[in-house]
Amino acid sequence: MAEGSRPSPLAFGQVVIGPPGSGKSTYCQAMGAFLAHLGRSVAVVNLDPANEALPGPCALDIGELVTLADVMGSLGLGPNGGLLYCMEYLEANADWLRERLRALRGHYLLFDCPGQVELYTHHQALKNVFAQLAKWDFRLAAVHLVDSHYCTDPGKFISVLCTSLSTMLHVELPHVNVLSKMDLIEHYGKLAFNLDYYTEVLDLSYLVDHLASDPFFRNFRRLNEKLVEVIEDYSLVSFVPLNVQDKQSMRQVMQAVDKANGYSFGDREQRSLEALMSAAVGADFHFSSTLAVQEKYVQSQDKAVEEEVMDL
């Protein structure tokens, strides 16, 4: 093979993490189709041993190595303990993973990971697997999916912020937090603040005050204040809204991830000024990305009010 025709030694991709039901598998399939439409060679890698009904094609499945059902049956473990064992088994058999990934060199990889929160907050096995991938010249970004319905409950949203911060500090990868299922947010209830308040994680003291209006949470005001202080002191958590059915929304998430793992600045796509500028997203990007979703949300609320008035 000629020197100039050799593929780049670097491989780029995303590790898609988040709690159960946040839409990780759906995201992997939707993002894979979106990137393939743009001309990238994409491969989905399933690292969830409990995921027996994959929603789409998968280039590599951890089920070839170990499954949760087999572990639970042979070792008598429950679902949580079984998942931890599976990840430790994957870490111990890293050579198997490396050998299978060699066949996918040259592809942009989407790793569909398990949904157990402990794996990303304090357990070491999956973190060590990510570290091995980095040593094998995989340039990855963690895409942390959070269901947008948590925005409608201030107490749950503070919990989500703490989990997201803990995950960012533990996983030690470039990180993009995503509010998934934004197309369903109007079904979850009315937001106490504008959407950009939640995506940009603005002054959380307003959230504590809002919680204090509830008699149950009033007794925990001091605790909530301290949790909010920790989140604001680190000043790391923010979210990108996502609707997998909206191409513009998918593009905005893609740009945020491409900036995080360095794909935009690599040699796999034209390094035009326009591409670099579109990837160099900051506050303006988050404002524009949330503005479109916010407009749709407000329109749906206005329509609901109009229908109520008509009924009267």
Beta bridge partners of 16: 112, 143
Q: What is the pLDDT of residue 9?
A: 72
d(CA 117, CA 123): 9
Each residue's pLDDT tens digit in the chain (312 positions)?
A: 444 445 447 899 999 999 988 999 999 999 999 999 999 999 999 999 998 777 788 999 999 999 999 999 999 999 999 999 999 999 999 999 999 999 999 999 999 999 999 999 999 999 999 999 999 999 999 999 999 988 888 888 999 999 999 999 999 999 999 999 888 877 777 787 888 888 998 889 988 988 888 787 888 889 989 999 999 999 999 999 999 989 999 999 999 999 999 998 654 454 443 554 454 444 444 444 445 555 555 565 566 556 655 665
Q: What is the pLDDT of residue 48?
A: 95
Q: What is the pLDDT of residue 310?
A: 61
Q: What is the pLDDT of residue 303?
A: 61
End-to-end CA distance of the chain: 75
pTM confidence score: 0.82
Q: What is the CATH number of domain 11-201+237-269+285-310?
A: 3.40.50.300
Q: What is the pLDDT of residue 71?
A: 96
Q: What is the pLDDT of residue 309?
A: 53
Q: What is the pLDDT of residue 182?
A: 87
C-alpha closest to that of 148 among 125, 173, 177: 177
Torsion of CA 204, 210, 216, 219, to 10 degrees: 60
Q: What is the pLDDT of residue 111?
A: 97
d(CA 75, CA 87): 15
CB burial of 97-122 (b: ≥16 within 10 Å; e: otherwise) equals beebbeebbebbbbbbbbbbbebbee
